[in-house]
Structures are given as structure tokens and as C-alpha cells.
Amino acid sequence: MNVRFTFGTVVSEIYIEESIHTIHAIIGSDSSCLLVCDENTAGIAASIADTGRIQVGAVQSRLRLCGTCVLPAGEAAKNWTNIETILKAAKDAGLGRDGVFIGVGGGVITDMTAFAASVYMRGAKLVLVSTTLLGMVDAAVGGKTGFDLFDIKNFAGTFYPSPLIIMPLDTLSTLPLREWKSGFAELIKTAILDSDDDFLDRIGRLKDTFVSPYFPVNVLRDEVSRRELLACIAKSVEIKGRIVEADPKETGSRRALLNLGHTFGHALEAAVGLGSLTHGEAVAWGIARACELGRSLGITETERAEKIIQLLDSFGYETRAPHPSMKETGRFMDALFNDKKKKSDMLSFIVPERRGCVAIAIEKKEIKRIIHIINGEVM
Amino acid sequence: MNVRFTFGTVVSEIYIEESIHTIHAIIGSDSSCLLVCDENTAGIAASIADTGRIQVGAVQSRLRLCGTCVLPAGEAAKNWTNIETILKAAKDAGLGRDGVFIGVGGGVITDMTAFAASVYMRGAKLVLVSTTLLGMVDAAVGGKTGFDLFDIKNFAGTFYPSPLIIMPLDTLSTLPLREWKSGFAELIKTAILDSDDDFLDRIGRLKDTFVSPYFPVNVLRDEVSRRELLACIAKSVEIKGRIVEADPKETGSRRALLNLGHTFGHALEAAVGLGSLTHGEAVAWGIARACELGRSLGITETERAEKIIQLLDSFGYETRAPHPSMKETGRFMDALFNDKKKKSDMLSFIVPERRGCVAIAIEKKEIKRIIHIINGEVM
């Protein structure tokens, strides 16, 4: 299954495939390649290195692998030091500006590999192999790259869409349950953006199958569940891709919709310390806050807000305010004002409306409303 | 005097004006601004900060200045640490993604400010005030940004053209003679690329006026010299701008022509230690080597090569091979193979032909030819 988008000047081709061994690539045969992975995905990277090729169906690309760069796993590793490690590995492997960076991993690895490629000799080639649900439904698609700086998530970054993104479904079989759930939060987010409610209901129906102690091996073995998972990932990729096509660099109003739950979520992540919550846990909590903000402004109907929050609850996300891990609001508010969604003195939030979502701007003087929301106070 | 180019998706407007106080800007009045300068240009930055505005003729923009970031001067400061210093200053000044980075200085400052702006929250606004001859005729125009890494010049960088570039001629009055000469090397390079020889002859005629112990105050006071200088800068900007318009990201063959003298020059800079030669001194030596390489391949006519080298000599540049500061060729060859001009195992050089220049590729097995050239050995 493949889909193709045009993000600005780059055509991005995405393969959602069942196996790493059935994937095709558009890598030039004379290009030097560097594999970038973390401790968790080193095995997948090694299997690519072993065969020395990436293929799908009839088309097969032989890779001229020149090196592998293995980084520590986790959000705490998403820093300049590790970007420099990638750049150094590429230099030592002898990559020229026609060299290919192949990022193999979740959002942290694909964001960092893509950033490194975007600044390596002012821009090298890039392939992403997304190995987590979060990466597949969100991080790997759309060209945002970056790393954390000054305790702010993705504070430094570029727009650098990958011409080729590979999503091998079988890599999900070893994903820990918490990471799996983290991905579902972004899937729910995308479904809320969709103008028709079916996608949200569909995710609700899948919950029992996918978020259970029996996951993931059983689910991926079962042909029906597997096909439904593939379809949900594909639908999420499709929705996100079309939004990004309309506004690739978030200069208009379309792409900002994808930030639903993220203004609150990023600030929560920073307030409790980057890496202590998964991105999905923070986003799920942020979506709940966005629902309440929308309700307080008369934009989100109570019924819709309750439906969304109930779905989040059923996945076991923390949706209560204040968040139990957040000791005081000071750091949260600091992080909020450092957020990239800020334009001048306005804070931008996405809130659900009857169908889909809408962007709203909150002025600094209205900030009490936000404090009430994060503290769970009735207004 | 102003000129406008389209570099990819960005319209870049360049003002070559006689005074910092007669310059207009397209900065939104509600945008927060950060001034970035070095120790040498802090006075110029202060004068912008004092008036709080940038203007030309009737159009005037009031700046909402939120901070000034003063970096150490020189090539040695062109590193990640100082990029982080700029990003931190912007964050502390409260700049959002609609904030404006105003780089005030020579090539090092404008390259670094532009890089910082390009990655700040995935891209902030950018204005460059170019205060050196080298910056005006080369560095500030065309969207290349970057910093040095692993002892390789501009190893990390982006393409991020500035929508507004200001070249206030009066800032040249305090430029040291050596920096002044450094700029002339790039001016000569651009003139060699020009299909008609007049520009090269014109620079030759200007030499006695511009490179003398009486420079720069006297020259800038004299109306005729001043106008001729303005015209030469404008012509260089025009030639470079048109080349970059045709190939903004150096993916084709056009933009590479601007690298005349740079493959040899960058390797020389790295071999003798970044910062010990000026960029122009290295480029001038590199142009002489390119002439000899062209001759050895039968591409550059002897008469043309001699004319170019004589002009370089008349400016007092070191054009002899081997370069007196280069103790051995090992580091030079390492640097050559780390150069961004490398594609796979081919090295790309630009050599003069009868009119203008042409790109040639040298395979690794032909590398002896390059060693002969840098050692000044007869083949």
C-alpha cells in the first residue's frame, strides 16, 4: 500500500507495508548510505545492513552502506550532542552531499536523522523507516524535523520532507505497550480532525483488540486485526498528508490544526521534565484540556467533548486536571510561553468544534482562562 | 539602489545604499526583533538600536527591538556554541516564530544569524545588514547559511535566503585593509565568471584607488571612487544573484560556478587552520590553482591564466604553489575529500575557460594531478 504527497517542492512517497523485506526504495545505487538507529531499533537496522538492500515486489535497491550510527533511545537523547554524533558518523563514513541518511526508529530517531540530513553540507538525501505507531501515524510524515533545546521540545528544527518513508508493520510487534498507546493518542487526534465521526468510532471499536496485555504479537498474527490496523494507519497518514499539502510550512492556518492537544501537551511534557511522560500521554491530556477550553468558550459542544474524553479515558490516559505529575503551574506557564505555537503575545490553541477542529488565539490578558483549565477549576 | 531576486520560493530584495540611515525595511511593525552582531559591528548595531528604526527615503520601519546578541569576531567563532548563543538570546528576548533576526556584520555573522533563524522554531524571519565588502559581493546574497564543524568550513548549514538584505556603504569606512582585500578576491572571482572581460579590467583599474594605505576613509569621501565602488558591488550582486536564481540549491550545474577557487581555497584554509588566512586570501590562491589546473587540462588558455594571476598578484595575494603556510599536503588532501563539493568519489573543480568558467570532475585516481598543482610541480 503506498501513497504520495507533495509537500512544498518535495514529493514524499510513503509505503505502508507488512514487512521490512517487501519494501522498495528510490535510493540511487551509487549513493553512500548511513543507517541511523537507537538501541531499540539496532536489530532492524542490522537486518537492513545484513541484506544490504531495501526492496518491494519487483523493485529492489542495493545499498552501499558505509556506516551505522546507534544512538541512546528516548526523548532525553533528542539533543544537539546526538545530532553532532550523526553528522560525525556521516563524515567518517565518507558521505558526500549526495549521500543518503536512513533513519530507522520512532519519532525521536526520524526527527533527528531528518534534521541532520537537512543541515549536512546544506542538505543530503533522506529515507525514513518508521518503526513505531506514533512515527507512522504522525512523526515521520510531513517534513518537520528537530531536536530539543533549552528544555523546549523541538525548539530547533527545519522543514525537510523525506522523499521516501517506509512503514514496515512487522516492526510494531516488539513495541512496548506504553509506546503503542502513545501512538494511539496521535491516531485519536487525527480522527478528531476528520470531518466525519466514523474514524473516531472505529478507533473506539479497535481499542479492546489493540490495547491489551495480549498485544502486540497476537494482534499482528491475526489477519483481520492486522488489516484493520493497516487501514487505520493509512487513513491517518492520508488525513495528515492532505493537511500538510495544503500548508507545508505552517504559514497558513491549515497545518496548525495538527497541533490539537500539543500546546497544552508540550507544556506539560516540559513542566514534568522531558521524557518522563510519553508524547502520546501528554497529547491525550492536552486534547482533554482543549475540549474544556473549547467548552468554556462555547465552541465545543458538551456532548462532543464528553465523547472524546471518554474515549481517551477508555485507553487509560490521564485526562484529569490538574495533572497528578504537575506540582505547580509556574513551569507549565513558562513552557507555554516558550512554545513554538506562540506568535508575538498571542497563544494559539486548537479546539474541537462540531465537525473537525478550529484554531483560536488567546491573548496574554486572557491567560487566567488557561490557568483555570489546567488546574481543573470551574469557571 | 536596489535589486530583487527570486531564490526558489523566496523573493530576496537587496538595498545597496550609501548610509545605514537611508535604508528601508519590510519588517512588520508588530514583530519582535533580535540584533545579532560581533565585537566589530556592535557600534553599528547600537546605532540601529538607538534610533529603533531602519528606513530609506519615505518608507520607515519602527523596530520592536527585544535584545542584542554580541558574539566574538572572526572565523574561529563560527561554531555551534555561538549558534546556540544566538538561539538562546532569541528565546530570552521572547521572539516567537514571527520574530525577526537581524544579522549585522560580515560573512561570519550573516551566515550564522541566517542559520540560527532557519532553525529557530523551524524558521523565523530574517534581515541581513552586510557590513563588509566580502559580505556584500558574496556571503550575504544567495541564501547559503552555516557554521564550521569538525574543522570543515560551513560543514553544517541550510539554504535560507533573506527576504531583505541591506548593504550600507558607509560601514566599509572602518574595515581593516586585510578584510577589504579579502572582499576583493570574491569580486575578482565574480568578474572571472562574467562572460565579458570588462568587469575584470575595471577591477584592475580600481586597484590603485582601493587597495592603498589611504584607504578606506579617503576613497569613501571621494564621490567618483565611491560611485565606482557602488557600481562594482552592484554588478557583482547582479551576477551572483542571476546565477543563484537559475540554481538556488546547487542541484544543477550553474551555482557550482560560484565555487571557483573554493575547492582549493577551503582545503587550504582547513590545512593551515581555520581563521589564520582570510577567506579571500585562500580563494585568491585557489583561483590561481584553478587556472593552473585548467591549463594542465588544456581548458584555460595560457594568456587568460596569466592575466588572472597577474591581477591577483597586483593585489598582493599569495599565488605561489606550494603555499608558504602549508607545511605538508596530508591535511590539505584530507580537507579536499571532506569538502562539500565532493560527490561520491569525484571531486568537482571550476576552471576558467575563454569566457567565463566551466565545471570539471576529477576522479580519485587522477588525484596526482591535483597534488602536482598544489605543490607547484611541472607536469
pLDDT tens figures, A130-146? 999 999 999 999 999 99
Alpha helices by DSSP H, listed for A255-348, are 262-272, 279-296, 302-314, 329-338
Asked if pLDDT for residue A211 goes beyond 70, the answer is no
Active site residues of A: 122, 144, 186, 240, 250, 254, 259, 262, 266, 279
Q: How far apart are CA A169 and CA A138, in angstroms?
A: 15
pLDDT at residue number B367: 85
How far A58 CA sits from the closest chain B CA (Å)? 27
pLDDT class for B244, splitting at 50, 70, 90?
very high
B242 C-beta neighbours (distance < 10 Å), count: 12
Asked if pLDDT for residue B329 goes beyond 90, the answer is no
pLDDT at residue number B236: 96
Question: In CATH, what is the architecture of A2-175?
Answer: 3-Layer(aba) Sandwich (3.40)
Per 3-state DSSP, what percentage of chain A is helix, strand, and coil (rounded to 5)? 50, 20, 30
B154 is catalytic: no
A226 touches A169 (CB < 8 A): yes
B164 touches B127 (CB < 8 A): yes
Closest partner residue to A122 (CB to CB) among B8, B121, B146 is: B146
The answer to whether B9 faces chain A, any CB pair under 8 Å, is: yes
How far B173 CA sits from the closest chain A CA (Å)? 33
Q: Considering only CA atoms, which of A81, A82, A79, A85 is closest in space to residue A149?
A: A79
Chains A–B, number of C-beta pairs less than 8 Å apart: 100
Q: Would the CB atoms of B155 and A121 count as touching at under 8 Å?
A: yes
B259 is catalytic: yes
B89 touches B124 (CB < 8 A): no
Closest partner residue to B98 (CB to CB) among A97, A150, A344 is: A344
Q: Would the CB atoms of A91 and B123 count as touching at under 8 Å?
A: no
Q: How far apart are CA B95 and CA B165, in angstroms?
A: 20
| Residue bearing the bigger pLDDT, B91 or B340 | B91
Which residues does residue B2 pair with via DSSP β-bridges, in sequence order? B15
Averaged pLDDT for residues A356-367: 89
Chain B positions touching A255 (Cβ under 8 A) are none
Any idea which of A209-213, B62-66, B188-192 has the lowest mean pLDDT?
A209-213
Chain A positions touching B88 (Cβ under 8 A) are 150
Residues 183-202 of chain A with CB under 8 A from chain B are none
Instruction: Give domain limits for chain A.
Output: 2-175, 179-375
pLDDT in tens, B73-103: 999 999 999 999 999 999 999 998 889 999 9
Q: Identity (one letter) of the amino acid at A58?
A: A
Q: How far apart are CA B336 and CA B334, in angstroms?
A: 5
Chain A positions touching B344 (Cβ under 8 A) are 30-32, 96, 98
Q: Considering only CA atoms, which of A103, A83, A229, A90 is closest in space to residue A163?
A: A103
Mean pLDDT in chain A?
89
Closest partner residue to B32 (CB to CB) among A122, A150, A344 is: A344
How far A311 CA sits from the closest chain B CA (Å)? 32
A58 C-beta neighbours (distance < 10 Å), count: 6
Q: Would the CB atoms of A158 and B123 count as touching at under 8 Å?
A: yes
> For domain A179-375, is the CATH number 1.20.1090.10?
yes
Most confident by average pLDDT, A57-71, A150-164, A325-339, B51-65: A150-164
The answer to whether B144 faces chain A, any CB pair under 8 Å, is: yes
Q: Would the CB atoms of B343 and A120 count as touching at under 8 Å?
A: no
Chain A positions touching B150 (Cβ under 8 A) are 87-88, 91
B202 is catalytic: no
A238 C-beta neighbours (distance < 10 Å), count: 16
Phi and psi angles of residue B145, each rounded to the nearest 5 degrees, phi first: -125, 165
B144 is catalytic: yes
Chain B positions touching A8 (Cβ under 8 A) are 9
pLDDT class for B56, splitting at 50, 70, 90?
very low
How far A156 CA sits from the closest chain B CA (Å)? 5
Q: Considering only CA atoms, which of A47, A35, A207 is closest in space to residue A126?
A: A35
Which residues does residue A350 pair with via DSSP β-bridges, in sequence order? A359
Chain B positions touching A337 (Cβ under 8 A) are 94
Cα B184 to Cα B168, B261, B279, B303, distances in angstroms: 17, 13, 11, 22
pLDDT class for A283, splitting at 50, 70, 90?
very high
pLDDT at residue number B158: 98
Cα B366 to Cα B171, B203, B370, distances in angstroms: 46, 35, 8
The answer to whether B227 faces chain A, any CB pair under 8 Å, is: no
Residue of B nearest to A79 (CA): B84
pLDDT at residue number B146: 98
The answer to whether B118 faces chain A, any CB pair under 8 Å, is: yes
Residue of B nearest to A28 (CA): B344
pTM as predicted: 0.92
pLDDT at residue number A56: 46
> C-alpha cell of A279?
508524547
B129 touches B20 (CB < 8 A): yes
Closest partner residue to B80 (CB to CB) among A80, A88, A150 is: A80
pLDDT class for B18, splitting at 50, 70, 90?
low
- Say yes or no: do domains A2-175 and A179-375 share a fold: no
pLDDT class for B54, splitting at 50, 70, 90?
low
Question: What's chain A's length in residues?
Answer: 379
Q: Would the CB atoms of A123 and B338 count as touching at under 8 Å?
A: no
Q: How far apart are CA A280 and CA A290, in angstroms?
A: 15
Q: Would the CB atoms of A340 and B122 count as touching at under 8 Å?
A: yes
Asked if pLDDT for residue A168 goes beyond 50, the answer is yes
Q: Considering only CA atoms, which of B96, B182, B181, B107 is closest in space to residue B142?
A: B107
pLDDT at residue number B170: 85
Chain A positions touching B145 (Cβ under 8 A) are 122
